[in-house]
């Protein structure tokens, strides 16, 4: 008994010493909170890998459905497996009537990201696997979410403009089908290719805020849909999502390449934040930027409208020279999406349509080796105060 008490006292003392020596990492910067086999961010060499495959190779040679399969199942599919996976996604594109009815009843001014949170919540209520966290059930739910979120985005867009939505085309790829549902006509091959590459680039990025939010939620053994709703809520915040929207609004305000240099210099003097630059992890270069920059340039040339790319290049050079900051994925994706005819309020929802593949992969990984995520905080409030009855205060 005496030895047990002594050991316990020793442990308590050790814990106290360790706590005193711990350093606080604001925002958990640089803190390793767990292990993952999904995505490797090599900040030193400015490289990014999905399941060991370079993002550059995937963007150049793969397609979005194949990347989604890789993220979900850990390996690139054989031709037969990919065909079956694509068919499952195509079969699940239509959204339940119950969801469309709710979307119709929402104000046209409802933020599209709030619409997605609402819609995913309703999907949970009608999903036959809603209450199961078994692996196969979660894969089925993941496929439904990946397939239905693009339809939710376009249906809501049409409803908010007083129009009926365009039904999904099961014979088109996910990227082709998104542009088809948005515009009502099948896209040119170069258009769908541009969108597809951007979806691959946005699909996954380790423990960013939204992914971490999803993992925190499901670490309580809550359901996949709840985790995805939390992730969407995190992505809605301007410090995580929305930079491509703000970047395009900036380009539209500048309007002409001749005005770019003076506009940016004036903005810097006023200490305005230039959206689409810098990254929490990458300090040298975002490895995804060269790919999306090339896409933006090619779209400008094909549309005989290169001014947005020219303005962007001027801004990039000035920000590099004045601030030492480099563009992230959001900066050139803004002009790429604009040239694809995608409305600006849909840029962040498209981020969701892509990143949901990474989110569901992380949700399933969390379930496989779960431990409740429960960090600690350093207390900075008042110490040991005496309670005073209300009549004596």
pLDDT digits (tens, 9 = 90+) for 60-79: 999 999 999 999 999 999 99
Choose, from 279, 286, 326, 362, the residue flagged as catalytic.
Answer: 279
**3-class DSSP state for residue 184?**
coil
CA gap 121, 202 in Å, rounded: 23
Mean pLDDT over residues 354-376, rounded?
95
pLDDT confidence bin for 12, thresholds 50/70/90: very low
Cβ partners under 8 Å of residue 92, min gap 6: 143, 144, 147, 148
Residue 94 pLDDT exceeds 80: yes
Q: What domains does the chain contain, in order, with CATH numbers?
A: 39-237+346-368 (1.10.580.10), 243-339 (1.10.230.10)
pTM over 0.75: yes
Which stretches of 127-242 are DSSP H helices?
Answer: 135-160, 174-183, 189-202, 209-218, 224-236
User: Is the CB of residue 91 less than 8 Å from the CB of residue 170?
Assistant: yes
- Active site annotation includes 330: yes
Q: What is the pLDDT of residue 26?
A: 74
- CB neighbour list of residue 150: distance below 8 Å, 6 or more residues apart: 93, 174, 177, 178, 181, 353
Contact 290, 326 (CB under 8 A): no
Kindly state the helix (H) or strand (E) to which residue 357 belongs, with its residue range: helix 347-368
What proportion of the chain, given as a percentage, has pLDDT over 90? 84
223 pLDDT band, cuts 50/70/90, is: very high
Whether 24 has a pLDDT exceeding 80, the answer reads no
Angle value at C-alpha 329, between 141 and 55, nearest 5 degrees = 65
Specify the higher pLDDT residue, 18 or 138.
138
The whole-number pLDDT of residue 29 equals 73
Is residue 61 annotated as part of the catalytic site, yes or no? no
pLDDT in tens, 310-341: 999 999 999 999 999 999 999 999 999 999 99
pLDDT (0 to 100) of residue 3: 36
């Amino acid at each position: 008994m005496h030895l047990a008490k002594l050991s316990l006292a020793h442990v308590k003392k050790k814990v106290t010493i360790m706590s005193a020596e711990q350093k606080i990492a604001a925002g958990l910067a640089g803190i390793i909170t767990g292990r993952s086999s999904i995505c490797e961010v090599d900040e030193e060499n400015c490289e990014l890998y999905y399941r060991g495959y370079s993002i550059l190779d995937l963007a150049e040679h793969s397609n979005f459905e194949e990347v989604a399969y890789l993220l979900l199942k850990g390996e690139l599919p054989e031709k037969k497996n990919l065909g079956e996976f694509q068919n499952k996604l195509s079969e699940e594109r239509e959204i339940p009537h119950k969801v469309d009815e709710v979307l119709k009843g929402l104000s046209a001014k409802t933020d599209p990201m709030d619409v997605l949170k609402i819609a995913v919540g309703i999907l949970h209520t009608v999903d036959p696997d809603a209450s199961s966290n078994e692996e196969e059930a979660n894969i089925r739910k993941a496929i439904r979410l990946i397939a239905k979120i693009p339809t939710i985005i376009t249906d809501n867009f049409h409803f908010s403009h007083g129009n009926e939505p365009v039904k999904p085309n099961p014979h088109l790829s996910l990227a082709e089908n998104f542009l088809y549902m948005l515009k009502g006509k099948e896209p040119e091959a170069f258009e769908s290719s541009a969108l597809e590459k951007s979806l691959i680039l946005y699909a996954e990025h380790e423990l960013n805020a939204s992914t971490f939010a999803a993992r925190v939620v499901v670490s309580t053994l809550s359901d996949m849909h709840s985790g995805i709703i939390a992730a969407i809520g995190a992505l809605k915040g301007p410090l995580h999502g929305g930079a491509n929207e703000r970047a395009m609004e900036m380009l539209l305000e500048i309007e002409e390449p001749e005005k770019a240099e003076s506009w940016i210099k004036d903005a810097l003097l006023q200490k305005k934040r230039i959206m689409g630059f810098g990254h929490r992890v990458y300090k040298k270069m975002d490895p995804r930027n060269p790919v999306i920059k090339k896409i933006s340039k090619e779209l400008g040339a094909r549309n005989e409208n290169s001014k947005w790319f020219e303005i962007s290049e001027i801004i990039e050079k000035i920000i590099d020279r004045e601030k030492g900051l480099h563009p992230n994925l959001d900066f050139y994706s803004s002009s790429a999406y604009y040239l694809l005819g995608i409305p600006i309020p849909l840029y962040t929802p498209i981020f969701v349509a892509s990143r949901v593949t990474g989110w569901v992969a992380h949700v399933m990984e969390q379930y496989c080796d779960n431990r409740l995520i429960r960090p600690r905080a350093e207390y900075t409030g008042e110490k040991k105060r005496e309670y005073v009855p209300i009549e004596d205060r």
